[in-house]
Structure 1
Amino acid sequence: MIRYGQQDITQADIDAVVGVLKSVNLTQGANIPKFEWSVMARTGARHAVAVNSATSALHIACLALDLGPGDFLWTTPNTFVATANCALYCGAQVSFVDIDSRTYNLCPRALEEKLIEAERVGRLPKIVAPVHHTGQPCDMEAIHALGEKYGFKILEDASHAIGARYKGEPIGSGRYSDITVFSFHPVKIITTAEGGMALTNNDELATRLGLLRSHGITREPELMTQLMDGPWYYQQVALGYNYRMTDMQAALGVSQVARLAHYVKRRHEIADRYNTLLANLPLTLPWQHPDSYSAYHLYVIRLQLENIGVSHLEIFEALRAKDIMVNLHYIPVHTQPYYQKMGFRDGDYPEAERYYREAISIPMHPALTDADQEFVVEVLREAMEV
């Protein structure tokens, strides 16, 4: 079986996790800050808060940015549902901005058009959450400029994009956003089994993220509302959650992040080889913006269905029948039944829907061999009957 994505676990990773299991601290130990610092060192961010999932990171990021009832978060329909759901957790409302036809990311031109109309009717968003789909960064400079003009905060969903760069700077640096979120799910660039992280350069936001991660409880005297009764003392100063990452997960993250550059380089090698092998097929291959360096979490092909004698579904099923576990990222969020109950309809975001009808994520992970790639292309060619 050739999976579309999978983790790479080495003996060093196993030793790191076993080391924690033999220690006294399985959670809230030294590996958490060590992992946070290792990611900060690779991104240039001033603060990092590790949590148990990227969804948790998105949730507390929205809370830290004061998203609540009566507010709007705008994001792309071409994302996993968690990006939109995090706003609903806060009692806020969600809307979407259609995608760019070449990058498949949130389109700044569509965003500007929607902002002009939203300003006219008094319904501007509090947060815009661009998603770096497949690992290719969004046009963050343009989105940031619109944020300055229209007054919204920017939450980067970089779940696909640790190791990516935009205009020469690492994603996560925070130059163009208030908070950036990474995912460490097993199919992502690096893994902690499950896990996520929120990064920011703002001291106050970092404090709030840290409180929200762990029940809203603090032992820091400067955050308390009265003097400590004794060394046992703590206070709950906010309504927080139990979103903590374990030391076992963090130890795995520390070990994995040491290979981050290698993983991203290997993904580029695989993408370059796909670009050559697939060049003469009736496909649209991933386009890379010259301002960006993708992390290549995914390699998405788009079928030129007008030049192919079989359907999207038939090609997908033909690949799966040969144990090539392709996938589709993503079903547009606004077409989900839960969101259609809110009033969203098919046809609302035509570019995202067009993408969905044509896209297939083919295998992309560091362990993929040349033979694997050749087999994928051979089966794809046969399925398309070309």
Structure 2
Amino acid sequence: MIPYGRQDITQDDLDAVRDVLTSDFLTQGPRVPEFEATVAKTTGAAHAVAANSATSALHIACMALGLGPDDWLWTVPNTFVASANVGIYCGARVDFVDIDPDSFNMCPDALAAKLERAEVAGTLPKVLIPVHMTGQSADMERIGALAKLYGVRVIEDASHAIGASFAGQPVGCCVHSDITVFSFHPVKIVTTAEGGVAVTQDEALAARMRRAASHGLTRDPALMTHDSHGPWYYQQIELGYNYRMTEMQAALGISQLGRLADYIARRTVHARAYDTALADLPLDLPRQDPRCASAWHLYVVRLRLDQIALSHREVFEALRAAGLGVNLHYIPVHTQPFWRGFGFKDGDFPNAESYYARSISIPLFATMTDAQREEVCAVLKATLT
């Protein structure tokens, strides 16, 4: 089976983790701050806050922006459920903005129209979470300008996009947003096993996220309600969570980030080869915004169902049976049973639903060989023609 994605663990990674295991610190030692500094340097952000998952990082980002009851959070339907769930964690209400059918990202035109209606209705969102689907940045220039016009805070969900860029600037530099969140799950570009990071240019937001990820505690005398009792003293000044990253995860991440450019270069080679090899099949291939350099987390093909004899499911199952570990990213969030309970229904976001009805994520990972890629192409051709 050729998986759609997989991690690459080298001897350097093993040595980095082993060094931590034989050190004095397994948690709250020097590696996590080093990892945060490495991510900040990679993205051009002033501050980075590590967490035990990207979901946790999204949650503390929402908390730092003050999202709460009676507020609205908007995101896209074609994302992992965490992008929407974090709004519920904060007691907020959640809605969605349909996607652009070419980029699979939040559609700026749909966003503009929805914001205009929401302003009239008094339901403008407090937080907007565009998702950089497959590793390509959303149109952050237009999204950021609209958010600024309507007074909306922006969190970029860049779980797929570490190492990507938009308009010549790295995703995560937060030129058009308040906070950007990255994922380091094993199938992502680089991994810390589980793990996430929130980056920002705002020192106050970083401090709030750091407290939220560590029980709401502070040792800063300036934030305490009264004088310290001694060197051991801390205060809980707000509600927080135990979302901290371990030293082992951070050490793995530091080692992996040293290969980030090589990983993306190899993924790009495979993606370009797919563009050529699959061009004559009854597929719609990914379209790239010329302003973007994708991290190529995923390569998604869309079936031209009117040109093939098989259904979407039949093609998917045939590819699996032939040894390709294909997947589908993602089931539109608003169609999940939990979210239907909020009144969402089929037809609410037609572009996201059309995307789901004919998309398949085919294998793409940095250590995939040319022979494996050619096998993927051969199986696709045999299945579709």
Fold equivalence (TM over 0.5): yes
CA deviations 1:160-193 (Å, max 9, x no partner) are 0000000000000011100100000000000000
Counterpart in the other structure of 1:336: 336
Counterpart in the other structure of 1:89: 89
1:361 Cα deviation from its structure 2 partner: 0.1
For 2:58, the aligned partner's letter is: L
1:173-184 residue pairs with structure 2 within 5 A? 173-184=173-184
Cα distance in 1 for partners of 2:15, 2:164 equals 28
Counterpart in the other structure of 2:140: 140
Counterpart in the other structure of 1:29: 29
Counterpart in the other structure of 1:247: 247
Cα distance in 1 for partners of 2:238, 2:359 equals 43
For 2:367, the aligned partner's letter is: A
Counterpart in the other structure of 1:104: 104
1:318 Cα deviation from its structure 2 partner: 0.7
1:204-215 residue pairs with structure 2 within 5 A? 204-215=204-215
Mean alpha-carbon deviation: is it higher for 217-226 or for 369-378?
A: 217-226
Counterpart in the other structure of 2:161: 161
1:12-23 residue pairs with structure 2 within 5 A? 12-23=12-23
- Secondary structure, in 3 states, of the residue corresponding to 1:301? strand
For 1:342, the aligned partner's letter is: F
Equivalent residue pairs, number: 385
Counterpart in the other structure of 1:305: 305
Cα distance in 2 for partners of 1:285, 1:81 equals 25
1:227 Cα deviation from its structure 2 partner: 1.2
For 2:277, the aligned partner's letter is: L
1:217-366 residue pairs with structure 2 within 5 A? 217-366=217-366
- Secondary structure, in 3 states, of the residue corresponding to 1:102? coil
For 1:295, the aligned partner's letter is: A
Cα distance in 1 for partners of 2:184, 2:285 equals 26
Matched, 1:196 2:182: no
Cα distance in 2 for partners of 1:307, 1:251 equals 49
Cα distance in 1 for partners of 2:122, 2:220 equals 40
Cα distance in 1 for partners of 2:213, 2:334 equals 29
Counterpart in the other structure of 2:78: 78
Cα distance in 1 for partners of 2:335, 2:119 equals 26
1:139 Cα deviation from its structure 2 partner: 0.3
Counterpart in the other structure of 2:48: 48
1:276 Cα deviation from its structure 2 partner: 1.1
Cα distance in 2 for partners of 1:255, 1:373 equals 26
Cα distance in 2 for partners of 1:121, 1:38 equals 44
For 1:254, the aligned partner's letter is: I
Cα distance in 1 for partners of 2:338, 2:116 equals 28
Residue identity over aligned pairs, in percent, reads: 61
- Secondary structure, in 3 states, of the residue corresponding to 1:62? helix
- Secondary structure, in 3 states, of the residue corresponding to 1:105? coil
Cα distance in 1 for partners of 2:383, 2:311 equals 10
- Report the TM-score, using the length of structure 2 for normalisation: 0.99
Cα distance in 1 for partners of 2:315, 2:195 equals 33
- Secondary structure, in 3 states, of the residue corresponding to 2:331? coil
1:223 Cα deviation from its structure 2 partner: 2.1
RMSD: 0.6
Cα distance in 1 for partners of 2:148, 2:186 equals 36
Cα distance in 2 for partners of 1:178, 1:129 equals 11
CA deviations 1:255-312 (Å, max 9, x no partner) are 0001111111111001011111101101001100011000000000000111111111
- Secondary structure, in 3 states, of the residue corresponding to 1:265? helix
CA deviations 1:102-130 (Å, max 9, x no partner) are 00000000000001111111100001100
1:375 Cα deviation from its structure 2 partner: 1.1
- Secondary structure, in 3 states, of the residue corresponding to 1:42? helix
CA deviations 1:327-373 (Å, max 9, x no partner) are 00010000001000110000000000000011000001011111111
For 1:333, the aligned partner's letter is: V
For 2:212, the aligned partner's letter is: L
1:203 Cα deviation from its structure 2 partner: 1.1
1:226 Cα deviation from its structure 2 partner: 1.4
Counterpart in the other structure of 1:38: 38
Cα distance in 1 for partners of 2:280, 2:308 equals 13
- Secondary structure, in 3 states, of the residue corresponding to 1:255? helix
Cα distance in 2 for partners of 1:203, 1:222 equals 15
Q: Show structure 1 runs of 5+ residues with no match.
A: none
